[in-house]
Structures are given as C-alpha cells and as structure tokens.
Amino acid sequence: MTLKKSISLLTFISIVFVTLGCAVSSKNSFESKYQATTSTQNATEIDGVYTFVSDIMEIKDTQTRNEIKTQNEWSGLWIFSNGHFSQNLTRIERQQWTPSHFPTSPQELGFDSVAGRYSLKAGRVILEISQSLYPGRANAIDAFSYTLEGQLLTLSQETYPTREYSGYTRRVLKLRKI
C-alpha cells in the first residue's frame, strides 16, 4: 500500500473513530456568550472541509521555542458546517503501542480530535469544544483570529500561561480547503 493510500485510509479510520466516539459520548451541554446556532441559514464563509497544512506554536517562557507540525509529518481534516466543527489530526507514522510501551504524552500518542460548535464574531472563530480525546479539553472555548485567502484558512491565537505552557504562546494554524 502506498504512503498516500495509507494516509487516506488512516484519515478515514480517524473520522469514523471520532464520529462513533461523539455518538456514544455523553452530551456535555454548557451555555456561552458565544453560543452558535444550528440553522442552515447561518452557514458561514469558512464552511467546508479543510486539510491540515501546518501548525506552528511559538512559546515564550524562560526561553523562546517553537513547536512545529507540518503536513510532512501530520495529516488531518477540519470540517466546518452550519455552526458545527470537527477536527482530527494524526501523525503519519505512529509508534506501535505495546503493553510495555503505551504513549505517556499527547505528542507520543500521535492523534488528536475535538468537535463541537463554532461561531464567527468580529473577525474571530469561536470554537466551543464539547467532545475531545483529552477530557481536560471538553467544555473548553478556543478563539482564533482568522483570514481566508482563496483556499487557505489561517487561524491565529495568542494565549497566556496555562498548565501545558507556563508562558505566553502564539499559534498559527493553516488549513487548505478541499
């Protein structure tokens, strides 16, 4: 099987996994001032299916460093549709898991998935995460500035210290519409 077919199959399996996981997970409801609607009249300019291009995070704490994910190492899809979104991301070549070696961190896991509702407000995409592979992200809200130039959607986010990152971060995520 070629690498491209393997990536396509892995992406398809990931989508099925996320869909089934969301279907059987308990519904987490919460109110937010950024509540999105589900009306088909509220389709937005970003509605569509996107493939992952890159995700670069600059982290400034005791020293400045970058965490970089590119389409050479990662594959994934983002779907935006009528106020709902789904994202999955998979490392193209993942380690084999064995009982003696099971991933101990998200980086080792090589997979990430979230889904929920979204809205556009004043040049920002507001993501209300209701399902997540990582329990700590469920019921979280992420906000990104966005630009859509042709088929390229760029999401930018600046954050302050969190438990994952002890300093200021700037993240730029690029997706290409397919």
* Each residue's pLDDT expressed in tens, for the chain with a length of 178 residues: 554 555 555 455 555 444 444 443 433 333 333 344 444 456 789 999 999 999 998 988 777 888 899 999 999 999 999 999 999 999 888 777 777 777 776 667 888 899 999 999 999 999 999 999 888 888 999 999 999 999 999 999 988 766 666 677 889 999 999 9
User: Does residue 74 form part of some domain?
Assistant: yes
The number of distinct structural domains making up the chain is 1
User: Does residue 33 form part of some domain?
Assistant: no
Q: In one letter, which amino acid is 164?
A: E
Indicate the DSSP class of residue 98: B
Which whole-number Å values give the CA distances from 98 to 101, 103, 112, 113, in the listed order?
Answer: 5, 9, 20, 22
CATH number at residue 117: 2.40.128.280
Domain housing 20: 3-25+39-92+109-177
Where are the strands (E) in 12-132, listed by range? 48-60, 64-70, 74-81, 84-91, 111-121, 124-132
